[in-house]
Amino acid sequence: MIYALVSHKGGVGKSTLATNIAFGLSKESDVLLIDTDEQGSSLDWINTREEETDLTVIGFPKKKIHKEIEKISRAYEHVVIDTPSHSSSLVRGAILASDRVLIPVQPSPYDIWAVAETVNLIEEIWDLKEVPAVFIINRKIVNTVIGKDASQILNDYGLPVLNTHICQRVIFPESASSGRSVLEFSSEARLEVDDLIEEIKSL
Ligand SMILES: Nc1ncnc2c1ncn2[C@@H]1O[C@H](COP(=O)(O)OP(=O)(O)OP(=O)(O)O)[C@@H](O)[C@H]1O
Ligand SMILES: [Mg+2]
């Protein structure tokens, strides 16, 4: 399965979720994490890491990734693609290369309105390839119902919202700073990311 983390809005958690989802999947399968963002967050993350990992991470900031994805991903059971915010051509290539699009969105009205651009691009691509897309609520404030409210508003876009919400937790930046995943620490975030991966696999 090839998953692309996509959103035109910056800082919504594409790289955070891409690295954690890829890391989680790599515990049971051969996984390739492809960083198509020239900013290279996923590459920085793996390069900071000192511990061994089974996860393979490469940089591939090419807009024609969909033409090469079969060759690149042949040896892997799962591929996770991290994408940039500001290059529609790179994002388009990543969507065309994927089997599923995962759209992280923060539960605030501004973020929900801003996601329209991403949904429009996905719908435009459906003329060429009908790639299913889902929203993932990320950075929900613990013990608030804003995630539920956000899910209801997001429903108007006509794409499903995953039941698992990822909360705002300091362990995400903390673990990333040493190239690790929240899954390597005992934390609420670990439980949420485990649930998220199970839900994504069951789609
Ligand atoms: N659930 C979370 N809890 C706490 N911090 C988070 C969470 N998700 C993301 N962050 C933090 O938010 C910031 C932006 O996240 P990230 O870099 O993953 O977003 P992005 O969508 O990849 O951004 P860009 O568009 O610049 O590539 C980072 O500092 C990250 O550590
Ligand atoms: Mg990023």
Which ligand 1 atom lies nearest to the CA of residue 140? Answer: 1
Output the six-digit token pair for 84.
Answer: 């940039």
Candidate of 172, 191, 193 to mutate for ligand 1, largest count of ligand atoms within 8 Å of Cβ: 172
The ligand that comes nearest to the alpha carbon of residue 105 is: 1
CA of 84 to the centre of ligand 2 (A): 6
Please state whether the predicted TM-score (pTM) of the whole model is above 0.85.
Answer: yes
Contact yes or no for 53/26 (Cβ under 8 A):
yes
Could you tell me which residues come within 8 angstroms of residue 196 by beta carbon, excluding any fewer than 6 positions away? 17, 21, 136, 162, 164, 166
Q: Is the CB of 107 under 6 A from ligand 1?
A: no
pLDDT digits (tens, 9 = 90+) for 65-91: 999 999 999 999 999 999 999 888 999
Beta bridge partners of 133: 101
CA of 127 to the centre of ligand 1 (A): 31
In which domain, by residue range, is 40 found? 2-201
With H, G, I as helix, E, B as strand and everything else as coil, classify residue 133. Answer: strand
Q: Calculate what percentage of the chain has a pLDDT beyond 70.
A: 100
| Mean pLDDT value of segment 92-106 | 98
Q: 153, 20, 38: which is closest to 80 by C-alpha?
A: 20
- How many domains in the chain? 1
> 150: domain CATH number?
3.40.50.300
Neighbours of 128 (CB within 10 A): 11
